[in-house]
Structure 1
Amino acid sequence: AGARGAEEASPAAEAQVEAAAAVQAPAATAGAKAAKQEEQSMGKRVKAGRPLLKDKCLEFEVLLERADREKFGFAHTGSKSEAQASTSDAPVGAGDELLIKKISTTGLFRDWNQQQPLEQQVFLGDRIVEVNGVRGITEMAEELRRPRILMRIVRYPDVFTIELFKRPDMKKLGFKFEKPSNAQLKDLVVTTVNDTGLLQELNAHNANAGLHHFVVSPGMRILAANDKKGDASEIAQELRQNSDGVRLRIRRMDAGAIAKAKVQKKVALLKALTKSSSS
C-alpha cells in the first residue's frame, strides 16, 4: 500500500494488475490454497470479536476448533474456588464462572494468544462466563469437551475503587489488614473480612447485583486510602483515624495467589484435624 496522499490506482489499472497476478503467479495461488487446507486439516479455527468494556470488565469472544488429537491446552476451576480459598468471616457467593488457572505452552489457547493483539489474549485469572451459548459452571465444563467451543471471556479489572461511608448505626469498616513482609511493597494486605461492617455490607450488595468484580476478599491489596498512597504506614494510619469513611483503591489477587491460598487453607484445616484427633 502507498503512503497517505499518494495517487490511487484507477479501477482499470487495478484490474490489469489483478489479471497479471492471476497469469504470472498461479503457484502463489496454489500455495495459498494449500496453506489454507493445511490449516483446516490441523483443526485450527480462531475467531475474535471486538473487545467490549462492560461494567469496568473487558469482554470478548474466543472461537476454537480442534482435530481429534489436538488439545485446547488450558486448565480451569470454578470461580467458587475463590470463596473456598478465602479466609473471610463472611464470604459472599461467587458468580457462575470458570476461572482460567493454567495455559499450556502447547495447544490452541497458546496459538490463539500468539495470533491476537494484547487486549484479546487470554490470561490467567480470566473468566469464562459462557460456552456455546450455555451458562452455568457444570454446563460450561461439559461444553468444553466438545471439539468446537465459542467462549465468552471476561477479564476483571486488576485495580478498582470502593467507598465506605460510616453511619451512626455502622462505624466499623469491618476488615483486618497487615503490612506485607516484603519491605519494598508499599501497600497493605487485606487479611480478613469480618461478618459485620461496612465492607461486608458493600460486598453483599455488589454480589447480589452481579458485580462480583467489586467484591473485596482476603489477599487483595490496598494501594491507597483517600489521598494516602505509596507508604503502608500512612495508609494504615488513615484507615485507623478517619472518622467519616474512606475511599479505597484495591488491587485483586492473581490466579496463582488464589491457588496458593486454597492449598494453604487445606493444609491449615488438615493440621487442625490432626491436632484435634491426637488430643
Structure 2
Amino acid sequence: MSHYRGRFAPTPSGPLHFGSLVAALGSFLDARHAGGQWLLRIEDIDPPRCPAGAGDTILRQLEAFGLQWDGPVHYQHARHAAYQQALEYLRDAGLAYPCSCSRKQWHGHSVYPGWCRHGVREPCKPQAWRLRSDRGLRPIAWHDRLYGEQAFDPADLGDVVLKRKDEFWAYQLAVVVDDAEQGITDVVRGADLLDNTPWQRQLQQALGLPEPRYLHLPLIVGADGQKLSKQNLAPALPCDDERVRPLLCRALGALGQPLETAQQYAPVAEQLEAAIARWDSTRLQPVAQRQALDC
C-alpha cells in the first residue's frame, strides 16, 4: 500500500448522476493504480439541501458500480467541533472576522470588499465569518496535474465565508479540515471545483495544514452544453447490472481510458480491474466531454 490517500466527497443533495460517476471513477482509478487508499466522505453540512436517505442512495450506487471505499464512511454533520476549533484558531490569529454584509449590499463589486474587517458594520444583524485575504497570506500557486501551473493573488479572491449567517459551516473550511484529518494526499475531482482550490490553499496555509496534490477532471456536459448536475435534472445512476456495465464503459471513455473490445462486455469487477491496470492520467483532456459517449 502506497502513501497515496484519495477520496470521493459527494454532497447528498440527491442521487449520483453520470457526471458524478465520472468524478468518482477518476478518483477511484487514480488511487487504486497508485496502490493507495480511496476514502468516502459524505459532505452533509447543509441540511436544507440534503434530503433524508440521499446519502444511503449514494452508497448503494457506488457499490453497484464496484467502487468500494476503504474504511468507514466519513460524515461532515458529525464534525462541528473540528470546524469550530479551526475557526477559533483563525480568529485568534487575526485571520477570521465576523461580517454582517449581504451579497445584495456588495453586488457592484467583483469580490467582497472587506467592509467588516475592522468591525462589524451592522452588529444587530446576523453575522457570517470570513477569512481575511489581506493579511499574512502568500501568493497562492500550485500545479494541477491536468491544467498545469495555477497562480492567484489572495487579494483577487476576496474574503471567503467560513461559517454562514445561518450557523451552517461553509464548504471551503469543512473540506480543508476534513482533508487534513483524513490524511488526503491527492484530490481528484471535477474541473468545476478548480476555482475553489485557491481558497482551499489559502486555508491550508493559514491553518498550517498539508497541501495535497490536485487533479481536476474534465466536466461532463449534456446535449445542451450544460454541465450535468442535479440542478438541471441529470438522470440518477441505476443500480441494476444490465445498465451499470455500459454506463461504466461510457464513463471510462469520457476519462480517455476506453476498454478493449473484449472487455466491454465483461462483468463490472473485470472492467474495473482492467481499468485500474491501464489508468493513465496523461490521456485526460482538459475539455468538457459529452454525455452521449458510447463504448
Same fold (TM over 0.5): no
TM range (shorter): under 0.3
| TM-score normalised by length of structure 1 | 0.21
Greater strand percent: which structure? 1
Greater relative CO (CA pairs within 8 A, separation 6+): 2
For the pair shown, the structure with the greater C-alpha radius of gyration is: 1
